[in-house]
Structures are given as structure tokens and as C-alpha cells.
A and B are shown apart, each in its own frame.
Chain A
């Protein structure tokens, strides 16, 4: 399957109207972040019985789920630890259980993750039916039912929403582009590139890195230029090149946006670990995750 993180089919569960403008815009030159586990592809841990029956291995489902991101945190739901379980029967009936850091996580983002997971798993060859269940969430029944019925967000939350979630998703992709700009530019500056040179640089001028791939991918999802000749610094709302005068503030905002997203990720991971003491499938620690001793709450009184 394509690793484009908003599969063209995403609109099925998000209601009419299709995905983001330009969401299919251009193939990514490289895949997005690939977890260590996902590199094993379908070769590890696949129950042979189910493969013999023609259904896909669980690993293929998890690799599909690697491409589903938390839109706020801009990280795969797998590495965040949100995938509690994932099974597929010999006949190809897939079941995924998702969990979130709190009972009150925002229902719109929760819906997107459940809907995207549904679409990603459904698109795996050999999957006959898909069930995605969000657990322990105040709006779980509405979200699970709405996604299963492919009702879209507005119908799922009838009277509480006026539209689908495309604009919300695009807003957070733009934040991801800002954060990605910092991830790409800071190493350049540390390596001696002068800030004054950045506005004149193109994506093709930047040495290859995972961060650069990721930035290109997010820009492509928004329909923004992502090819080698495209400017490195652009306004994610308009796609316009950032000029020298605007560059210092642009970089400052990029940095703040990145830190906000990463700090949120840290808090979410900590809350999830407090809530569930089991590892999620393909869960990864963040850069300063605390050791396990921190994870178990002591009882003082």
C-alpha cells in the first residue's frame, strides 16, 4: 500500500467531499517515518494459519496502522502506543482496538484516528471486514458507531458539528509543516549554514534526512510544493516563499510550534502510561521517556 498518510479512501469514513485538496498531490519521494518494528514487514510474527487461509498477516495490518497519525501530535498511532490490539481471522476479518491517553481526549481528533485506522486496515489486501473499536472514551459509542456506519463526523455528532474535519486536519498539517521546518533548519544552522542563506535555499539543497522526507510529505499532503526546486521556507497557509525580512520570525514560530507539539506528545505518553500499564503494539519511547520505575504510581496514603 502507499504510505501516503491520508489515503485517497479516507473520505469514505469522513463523509462526502473527499480528502484535503491536494491530498493525493504527488507521490512522496520517500516513505515517512518507519518504526523499527515495521521494517520487519510481513515476515515476523505472522500467524501461519491465517496466511494459509489467504488473510493478511497481522504485521501487514500494523504496517498499515503505522501510516495513521494522531493529527495533533503528528506521530503514528502505533508508536504513540494507541494500538491496544490487532487481530485478523483466517477469513480476513480484522479487529483493531485503540486507546487514548484520557477519557476526555478531543472527540474530533479521536474520530479522525478511528476513521483513518478503519480505512488503512480496510485497504490491506485480503481484509474482508474491518472493525475498529475505540476503548474507554466518553464518546466511544458515537465514534465507533459512526465510523462503522461510515456516517461522517457531522452525522455522527448530529447537532453538535456543522461540517466534516478536513479544515481541522489541514490546520494541523500546517502546524506539522512549521514544526518540520524547525526540524530541518536547526541541524543546517548548527552545521554552519547562515540564517540569511535559508530563504534562498530549495528543498533539493538540503542533505537527505528523515526530517526532510517528513517535511516534504506533509507539504505534499497540503498540496504545497515539495519537489527539489521548491523553496525551503514557505508560508504553510499560502505556499508563498518566506523572504529575508520575515525569516527570523518564521523560524521562531517554527520552533515554538515544534516544541508545543513535542511537549504535548510527552504529556500524552505520560498520561497513557498512567492509564494503561501494557505496551501498545509497536509502541516506541519518546526521546526522554522515563524508565519503568516512574511508570507505576506509588500509593502514599
Chain B
């Protein structure tokens, strides 16, 4: 919970991790990739305020206690959504798997939502694992990293026929929130790996699913915006927008926020810290203090008031994940509908959160 001017805000961290990227988890022969990946993440942390930077050793492997303190005790978060990333070609036990997350989360009931993941190249066996994960962990969402390497393949698209089998399974299993993260390598390498056209197609073909494009499609914010504005079930995941720009490039941050507010709208933007890349504390505080600058450069952007911030910080994600939000955090009735385009609205709210 975050409190400002006597108002209380419910905080859902829509995108965070519990990883082990230390050398003890590196796959022999793939050490350079495991090392390169975590160093790349660490460089992103460099975009946050200096006093929040960690040593690379701490960044590679942090403890359960660190996470609970950084995210919940200091970071104002009420419910956090684990977004697993496997990368098993580089990390022996995976970078952060559904199991690792859940094993930790079990000790903190009500605090976490366990998303799972899938990879269409895993075939029937992968579908079976998806079903089992949904059964075991109650997953209502999944994180897809389309640039993951898998047995010689450098990636995949949502429009691949094999991916559609998985999306059909998600629909059937109630895994209704599909978080999409693009990376630099997909087949074929001569095309733009960050192209979001496949999300556009999938969102049209699966109107019963919500597609949350993580990092707002960075580095293709413009393509994401033009697509999202046409698809009622496409959402903007703000991880990296706040962490990567708010401190390091405040003017660009304001402009990117302005673009997102214009094309996507405050009902469809979700806060995510991307912990442990960045701690939520400074992001929540900075975001709540932030206002669109007054100068001419920003004059034609929509403004974001306390109601919009309330939605982005928690209520939109709570609506997508059926997280029960206590009355004191709710919006007045006339303030619009968080997660407005949520397409499975008939489902009952369940007490995932112990808040």
C-alpha cells in the first residue's frame, strides 16, 4: 500500500522476478550467454538512481529475504505477479522458473500470483506441462519470451501454428493474461525481431485472451501504440518505461507516458517494477510524484491525475487477475473502469490477495 495526501493506493507489481543467475547455475559451455544476459540486465539497473544500484554479485543472486524486504516491506507492493523466464539453455535450473517462484511464494500466502510460461517448440510435452502448472499453481497468466533459444532455434512468433495450439489451451484453461516479451533474436534473423505484428494477429484471433505487451514493445513503442489502439484486448506493461526512463531520461519519460496515455489510455496500462532489475520503492514514489510537465512541448498530451495513477498502479492489474481489492482502495463510481477492456469480465473475483 502506498499513501499520499491521506489517500491510500493498492499496488500490484505486474512484472517481477526471483532469479538465480550466479555462476553456480550457468550451463557448462554456455557460460558466456548466461554471463552476458545478467550483465545486460545489470546495465539496465544502471538507469535507475545511483543509490539503488547493486553489485553484480548481489544482482546475480539475491535472497528470499531481500525480495520480501525490497518488494513488500520497502516497496509498497500489495500483490506481486511472478513472470518466469526459463532460459534453460544457459541456466541449469532455469533463470527463474514457475517452480522456483512458487516454492518461495508458498511461504508468503496471498502475496504472489504465479504466472507460468510456455514455448510452442516444446510440442505436446510442453502442453502437458502447461496443464500441470495451471493445476498446481493456479496460473491465470503466462509470460512468453519469444527470443528464447531452444535446440538450435533462436525464437518464435505468436502466429506460428504451434503457438496457436498453446493459445487455444490457454483459453480453455483460463490462462487469460498473455504477457509478451520480445527479444533480439527470432527466426529469420533478417527480419525485425521486435515487430509486434504477430501480437496484433493473435489478439484479433483470441478475443477471449488479454495480451499485455511488456516493456510497451520497446524498442518499438510506436508500432505497439498503433497496434494497441486498435485492439481492445491489448495492454501496456510499463516495466522498463518507469525503471529505465523516469530517472535517467525524465523528458523522454514524460513523452513516452504521453504517447501511451494518448494511444492506449490509463485503463490499459499496468505498473511493473521488473524487480530485481529495479526496486519498486523509488519507482512507486517517483511515479506518484510525477506530473506531465507544463511546457509547450507536452501541451497536447493527456494529463494523468490521481485516479489514473490508482488504476495504473494496481487496479488495472487487479481487474485482469481477479485480485480482490479492499473497498478503501477502490475508485469512486464515476471514475471509470480499471482494465476497461477486460474481456472475461464475467469471472468471479477470487481472493488471490491476502490484502
Contacts and interface: CB of A to CB of B under 8 A. Distances in A.
Interface string A233-275: 0000000000000000000110111011011101100110111
B55 A300 contact: yes
B55 A253 contact: no
A153 B188 CA distance: 11
A271 B44 CA distance: 6
B248 A270 contact: yes
Interface string B234-257: 000000000011001111100110
Which of A104, A253, A296: most chain B Cβ within 10 A? A104
B252 A263 contact: yes
A269 to B, nearest CB: 9
Contacts of B225: 256
Interface stretch (B32-40, B97-105, B119-127, B328-336): B32-40
Interface in B28-56: 32-33, 36-37, 39-40, 42-47, 50-55
A212 interface: no
B50 A266 contact: no
Given A161-B190, A257-B222, A275-B43, A290 B248 contact: yes
A181 to B, nearest CB: 13
A287 B248 CA distance: 12
B58 interface: yes
B256 A297 contact: no
A163 interface: yes
A274 B219 CA distance: 19
A161 B189 contact: yes
Contact of B245 (A106, A168, A175, A263): A263
A260 B194 CA distance: 13
A105 interface: yes
B54 A300 contact: yes
A261 to B, nearest CB: 8
Range of interface residues on B (Cβ < 8 Å): 35 or more
A161 B259 CA distance: 34
B288 interface: no
B130 to A, nearest CB: 27
B248 A266 contact: yes
Contacts of B244: 267, 270
Contacts of B256: 259-260, 263
B252 A106 contact: no
Nearest to A157: B189
A106 B53 contact: no
B53 A288 contact: no
A85 interface: no
Given A103-B40, A190-B296, A290-B248, A256 B190 contact: no
A107 B189 contact: yes
How many of chain A's residues touch chain B, expressed as a range? Answer: 35 or more
Most buried by A among B40, B44, B55: B40
A259 B221 contact: yes
B108 interface: no
B46 A253 contact: no
Interface in A87-127: 101-108
B36 A300 contact: no
Nearest to A295: B46
Interface stretch (B9-17, B179-187, B266-274): B179-187
A293 B248 CA distance: 12
Contacts of A157: 189-190
Nearest to B32: A138
Contact of A160 (B39, B44, B188): B188
B193 interface: yes
A283 B23 CA distance: 34
B37 A300 contact: no
A168 B154 contact: no
A242 to B, nearest CB: 16
Interface in A175-232: 175, 190
Contact of A299 (B36, B55, B188): B55
A116 to B, nearest CB: 16
A73 to B, nearest CB: 9
A108 B195 CA distance: 13
A168 B191 contact: yes
Q: Would you list the 6 A-B pairs with minimal beta carbon distance, nearest first?
A: A274-B46, A103-B36, A260-B221, A266-B249, A106-B184, A260-B222
Given A106-B185, A259-B255, 10 more contacts: A104-B36, A104-B40, A108-B193, A162-B188, A175-B222, A264-B218, A264-B221, A266-B252, A271-B46, A301-B54
15 contacts: A103-B39, A108-B189, A171-B192, A256-B221, A256-B222, A260-B222, A262-B255, A263-B249, A263-B255, A270-B249, A288-B251, A300-B52, A300-B53, A301-B54, A301-B55
